[in-house]
Structure 1
Amino acid sequence: MKSSPTNALPSEVQALVNQTIESLKDLVPPTPSFVSDEIQDAVFEAIDAVDKDMRALNLAIHDNPELMFKEVKAHAHLVSALTKLGFTLTNPSSLPTAFVATYTHGKGGRVFGFNSEFDALPNVGHACGHNLIAVVGVAAAVGLKAALKACNIAGTVKLIGTPAEEGGGGKVILIREGLYDDLDACAMAHPGGGYGPTPFTGSAHIGGPASLARAGFDIEFHGRGAHAGAAPWMGINALDAAVQGYTAVSMLRQQLEPTMRVHGIIQGSEQWAQNIIPSYAKVSYSTRAMTVKDCLTLRKKTIACFQSAAEATGCSIDISAKDDEVYADMRNNEPLSLSYASFMEKAFGDKIATEGMTTASTDFGNVTYKVPSFSAGYEIPSPVGAGNHTAGFAASAGKPEAHKLSMKVAKGLAVIGAKFLSDSEFAKETKKAFEKFKKETGDLQAPSLSEGFEML
Structure 2
Amino acid sequence: MDAMEIKKHCDTCIDTLSDQLWDIAKYIHANPEVAFTEEKACLCLTTFLNQHGFNVQSPVGGLKTAFKAFYSKGSGPVIGVISEYDALPGLGHACGHNLIAASGVGTVVAVKNALDQSELEGTIVLIGTPAEESGGGKILLLNQGIFDGIDAVFLMHPTSATTRIGGECVSFTGLHIYFKGKSAHAESHPENGINAQDAATLFYTAIGLMRQQLKDNIHICCVMHHTASDIGQIPDLTHLEIEISTRVASDIDDVKVRITNIAHGIALATGCNVQIDDIMGYLGRIPNKVLADICKQELLVLNEPVMDGIPSDNGGEDLGNISRVIPSLNLFTTILPEKKISGHTDQFRELAISENGRHALNISCKAMSRSIVELMLFPHYISDAKEELNKRLLDA
Report the CA distance between 1:100 and its aligned residue: 0.6
Instruction: Determine the C-alpha separation between the residues in 2 that align with 1:233 and 1:175.
Output: 52
Instruction: Determine the C-alpha separation between the residues in 2 that align with 1:389 and 1:251.
Output: 30
Q: Write the letter of the residue equivalent to 1:204.
A: I
Corresponding residue number in structure 2 for 1:140: 107
When Rg is computed on C-alpha atoms for both structures, the one with the higher figure is 1
Corresponding residue number in structure 2 for 1:204: 165
Q: How does 1:389-428 map to 2 (within 5 A)?
A: 389-428=344-383
Q: Write the letter of the residue equivalent to 1:202.
A: T
RMSD after superposition = 2.5
Corresponding residue number in structure 2 for 1:304: 261
Residues 86, 230 of structure 1: alpha-carbon distance in 2 compared, 3 angstrom cutoff: farther
* TM-score, normalised with respect to structure 2: 0.91
Corresponding residue number in structure 2 for 1:375: 330
Q: Write the letter of the residue equivalent to 2:281.
A: V
Q: Are 1:100 and 2:57 an aligned pair?
A: no
Instruction: Determine the C-alpha separation between the residues in 2 that align with 1:427 and 1:414.
Output: 15
Deviation per residue, 1:3-49 (Å, 9 max, x gap):
xxxxxxxxxxxxxxxxxxxxxxxxxxxxxx9x722211221111122
Instruction: Determine the C-alpha separation between the residues in 1 that align with 2:339 and 2:177.
Output: 36
Residue ranges of structure 2 left out of the alignment (5+ in a row): none
Residues 313, 389 of structure 1: alpha-carbon distance in 2 compared, 3 angstrom cutoff: farther
Find 1:81's aligned residue among 31, 44, 48. Answer: 48
Deviation per residue, 1:103-159 (Å, 9 max, x gap):
12x222221001111222222222222222211212111221122112232211111
Residues 166, 349 of structure 1: alpha-carbon distance in 2 compared, 3 angstrom cutoff: closer
Report the CA distance between 1:357 and its aligned residue: 0.4
Which one is further off, 365-374 or 423-432? 423-432
Report the CA distance between 1:436 and its aligned residue: 3.4
1:236 and 1:314 in contact (8 A); partners too: yes
Find 1:280's aligned residue among 233, 237, 246. Answer: 237
Residue ranges of structure 1 left out of the alignment (5+ in a row): 1-32, 443-456
Q: Write the letter of the residue equivalent to 2:325.
A: K
Secondary structure class of the residue paired with 2:69: strand
Q: Write the letter of the residue equivalent to 2:250.
A: K
2:163 and 2:334 in contact (8 A); partners too: yes
Instruction: Determine the C-alpha separation between the residues in 1 that align with 2:385 and 2:95.
Output: 29
Report the CA distance between 1:383 and its aligned residue: 9.6
Report the CA distance between 1:379 and its aligned residue: 2.9
Corresponding residue number in structure 2 for 1:22: none
Corresponding residue number in structure 1 for 2:144: 177
1:38 and 1:151 in contact (8 A); partners too: no
Find 1:314's aligned residue among 271, 278, 293. Answer: 271
Report the CA distance between 1:381 and its aligned residue: 1.8
1:345 and 1:352 in contact (8 A); partners too: no
Instruction: Determine the C-alpha separation between the residues in 1 that align with 2:229 and 2:84.
Output: 36
Find 1:223's aligned residue among 181, 184, 187. Answer: 181
Corresponding residue number in structure 2 for 1:259: 217
Number of aligned residue pairs: give it: 395
Secondary structure class of the residue paired with 2:124: strand
Which one is further off, 243-252 or 147-156? 243-252
Report the CA distance between 1:289 and its aligned residue: 0.9
Corresponding residue number in structure 2 for 1:53: 20
Q: How does 1:119-134 map to 2 (within 5 A)?
A: 119-134=86-101
Residues 396, 112 of structure 1: alpha-carbon distance in 2 compared, 3 angstrom cutoff: same
Report the CA distance between 1:239 and its aligned residue: 3.4
Instruction: Determine the C-alpha separation between the residues in 2 that align with 1:80 and 1:161.
Output: 13
Report the CA distance between 1:349 and its aligned residue: 4.6
Q: Write the letter of the residue equivalent to 1:178.
A: G
* Identity between Structure 1 and Structure 2 (%): 30
Corresponding residue number in structure 2 for 1:235: 193
Deviation per residue, 1:361-408 (Å, 9 max, x gap):
111111111111111123322997740122332232232312321220
